[in-house]
Amino acid sequence: MTYQELCQYLFGRLLSEYNFDISDNDKMYIVKSNYLKNEYKNILSGADPGLLLNAVANGLASGKPVAYVIQEAVFMDLTLFVNEHVLIPRPETEELAYWIETDHRAEDREMNVLDVGCGSGCLTLYLKSKFKYWNLTGLDVSSEALEVSQRNSANLNYQVAWVKADFLISSFLPDRAFDLIVSNPPYIGSDEANVMDSSVLQHEPLLALFPPGNDPLIFYKTLANFGSQYLNPGGKIYVEINEFKGSETSEVFHQKGYLVELRADMQNKPRMIKAIWQGQ
């Protein structure tokens, strides 16, 4: 069986026997994945291709997004391991990563960078891939998420400090000042759950989607306060935000003394903020 024949077998039987008509984009995603390439090696060694079919079919039948079924996601030019303990990386976060990269492309110096709510490690690890001299720290409250980020950094052979801490209760007391703080924190209000895709609510970690309590801006307020204590003068905070709360989120940073830039994504939705610390 060639690799092409395996793909035809998998997608053909998923349609004929399980009635799963996967989109062309998802088919290409699976075909290019390390998951399917590794399964093909197992089949060449004598494994039953029916086991692969059943594993994929059962995952899809449960409503899992394809990325969780194959435990793999692509972020910019990185291929990452993902599971249901971390969010599947989104295009908006790629745009945030690209903004940070382009702002600092000409800088070839050591910098201290903190990623709050690192999840899979996608943002941290992409920045490390572009800026070898940066000292990066990824922080998350979830032990399971940190296991994923640590696995990804080991796979990519990138040295990153991973820290378990609850950022909202100040359990992280750094021993250094930072030049950059980046974050894609939980920012979805509980009142928005009824308009969200059911597969997201059923399979992605709610801890990474919804902030605790009734304040959807709590992480931004905490980031603004933290930055006022631990950012070097002229240091920057880059955050992904709720598209419906652009002005409110900007005001959080403005009131603390930051110079704020709100930026729209490719769909012209306000999704990113850069806040420059102007204090001493």
Per residue in 106-127, pLDDT (tens digit) is: 887 899 999 999 999 999 999 9
The answer on 229 and 132 residing in a single domain is yes
The answer on 261 and 142 residing in a single domain is yes
Q: Could you give the number of structural domains in the chain? A: 2
Domain holding 16, by residue range, is 3-70
Note whether residue 107 is domain-resident. Answer: yes
The answer on 133 and 57 residing in a single domain is no
**CB burial of residue 18 (10 Å; 0-12, 13-18, 19+):** middle
The phi, psi pair for 146, rounded to 5°, reads -65, -30
The answer on 55 and 125 residing in a single domain is no
* pTM of the predicted model as reported, rounded to 2 decimal places: 0.92
Note whether residue 77 is domain-resident. Answer: no
* Separation between Cα atoms, residue 121 and residue 154, nearest integer Å: 11
Note whether residue 80 is domain-resident. Answer: no
The answer on 183 and 116 residing in a single domain is yes
The answer on 123 and 38 residing in a single domain is no
Q: Which of 70, 103, 123 is the last residue of a domain?
A: 70
The answer on 134 and 34 residing in a single domain is no
Per residue in 163-202, pLDDT (tens digit) is: 999 999 977 888 889 999 999 998 887 676 666 666 666 6
139: domain CATH number?
3.40.50.150
